[in-house]
Amino acid sequence: MPLVEREFKIGLLVTALLEDKFNKTGHMRGEARRVTGLYEEKLKQFGKVVNPGFFEYEDEAIKAASILKKEEVDAIVFVELAYQKGLIPMRALLQFDIPIIIWNSQLVDEFGEDADFDLIMVNSGMAGLPEVTSSLIRAGRRFWVVTGSINDKEALQKIDEYLKAARAVSRLKNSRIGIIGHPYEGMTDLMQDNFAIMEQFGTSSWPIDHDEIIDAFLETSENEGGRLIEEEKERGRKIEVDDAMMLRSARLALALEKVVKGYSLDAVAEFDQVWLSDERVGIIPFYGTSRMVENHVPFTCEADVLRAMAMLVLEEVAGHATFLEHYILDYKRDQMFNSHDGHGNPGLADPKNEVRIVPTIYYEGVHGFGASFNYSYRPGEFTLFSFGNIGEGRFQFIASEGQNLEMKPRDIAAPQTFFKWGGGDIKLFAEEWLYAAPSHHHTGAYGNLNGVLSKVADMLGVECVII
């Protein structure tokens, strides 16, 4: 739930020089407007498009930029139909500090023998684009180029990735992460300057007193908790927790949800153990935190802010995310066992195996062991992802593609998977991962995401280490 609820918007800028003191192809304006509409239709598959219309002169460029600024677009796609004096589009482009994607496109795939000059006037953007790109470089503005005709599948896939990356950038800049409790004592990878995070990524970190969750827990009735338990049963999930403990865990889950909604939090980094010794709660919140992740609100343990941000990025580029930790290197089969006690996303579980709700075996509170999930993740292409803190307020992305393998879940009261690295040798993977300044936590999502994550990093001005 972004701080400001709004739709992701793509600003379209289309220009060409048709007529001035020397050029006399003004009869093509109608066709230029029609072609502008074709580019708008093509981009609609990626989000809402704001199209101020084809522009040709300086005052029109200023007006087009004004419309896009008023609509608060999140990214710009710029197209030249034919040569245009660089000053004209630059009057618009220099007004923005959002991702600029230059679509070096045309309607035709070839220049046929029957082609005339009118065809050139809506298919020759390459003539003027060097003027725009060199001007952006001179002005210190970053941009990204996609080349291919309007129906080129490879080019459209690249545009899709850039716009997904822009979504992730926009999400981080418009997000608030709640911090409940404190980082686990002594964990150096969780020691960072949250103001530096806001400077680099635009994400704010907001402390939430753990007593507010206690208050929400006390306000949550047994009937509300009972309804949540029935919902789990209706989904076919096997509950192996005694009734009293499951009810307490369900009420704590609903309390977390109420606080998330009350503070409009995009994600939460919390210290699980903060309620263990409190007589009013007295259990670990694993059931509730995993439930929130399943409902697209990232939760991390040990007050891990950077992994909460990583999960937000994955939510935008992949539509889902989970929280993990490297456990066992399986040298015989060249794979890594990934899990984390109690934290995960049961919505990504392998449907071939049961999703069991079981007592946790890790942390005991004054009211005993709370509920947790036990399941294996479904097999499929999978990408591991983390933020690396490399000192002096600097960060980098770390990403690695591979596969989650089909497996029988071990009885460890936690989500789990075997990850097989796309590069093969698990020893090499482990060494390369350790050299990349990772945290002992990481995140993951289904799909081959190295390319789009590299684009997110590029737009944010940070390095991306691909393992």
Domain ranges in the chain?
Answer: 9-173, 176-466
Q: What pLDDT does residue 273 have? A: 94
> What is the C-alpha to C-alpha distance for residues 247 and 448, in angstroms, rounded to an integer?
39
Helix (H, G, I), strand (E, B) or coil at 400: strand
Confidence (pLDDT) at 129: 97
320-324, 360-364, 455-459: which has the minimum mean pLDDT? 360-364
| Cβ–Cβ < 8 Å for 81, 15 | yes
**Whether pLDDT at 3 is above 90:** no
pLDDT-based confidence at residue 68 (cuts at 50, 70, 90): very high
CATH 2.40.160 fits 176-466, yes or no: no
pLDDT score for 16:
95
> Are 442 and 403 spatial neighbours (Cβ–Cβ below 8 Å)?
no
Position 236 pLDDT exceeds 70:
yes
Mean pLDDT lowest among 39-53, 106-120, 292-306:
106-120
In terms of CATH architecture, what is 9-173? 3-Layer(aba) Sandwich (3.40)
- Find, among 288, 306, 195, 279, the residue nearest to 250 by Cα: 288
The mean per-residue pLDDT over the stretch 29-49 comes to 96
Residue 119 reports pLDDT greater than 80:
no
Residue 401 token pair: 């593609």
Confidence at residue 73, expressed as pLDDT on a 0 to 100 scale: 97
The model's pLDDT over 255-283, given as tens digits with 9 standing for 90+, comes to: 999 999 999 999 999 999 999 999 999 99
Q: What percent of the chain has pLDDT over 90?
A: 88
Can you give the pTM of this predicted structure?
Answer: 0.94
Which residue has 């992305």 as its token pair?
Answer: 397
Residue 445 has pLDDT above 60, yes or no: yes
Would you state the pLDDT for residue 202?
A: 95
Instruction: Calculate the CA 372 to chain-centre distance.
Output: 26
Q: What is the mean pLDDT of residues 236-263?
A: 96
Residue the block writes with tokens 């150096």: 188
Using 50, 70 and 90 to split pLDDT, how confident is the model at 392? confident
Q: Distance between terminal CA atoms of the chain?
A: 32
Q: How far apart are CA 16 and CA 39, in angstroms?
A: 14
**Whether the predicted pLDDT of 5 surpasses 70:** no
Q: State the average pLDDT for the chain.
A: 94
As a whole-number percent, the residues of the chain with pLDDT over 70 amount to 99
Give the DSSP letter of residue 71.
T
SS3 79: strand
- The residues pairing with 365 across neighbouring beta strands, listed in sequence order, are 368
What is the pLDDT, as a whole number, of residue 2? Answer: 58
Is pLDDT at 229 greater than 90 in this prediction? yes
User: Distance from CA of residue 122 to its chain's centroid?
Assistant: 36
pLDDT exceeds 60 at position 1: no
pLDDT score at 123: 87
Instruction: Scan for tokens 């020089």, then name that residue.
Output: 17
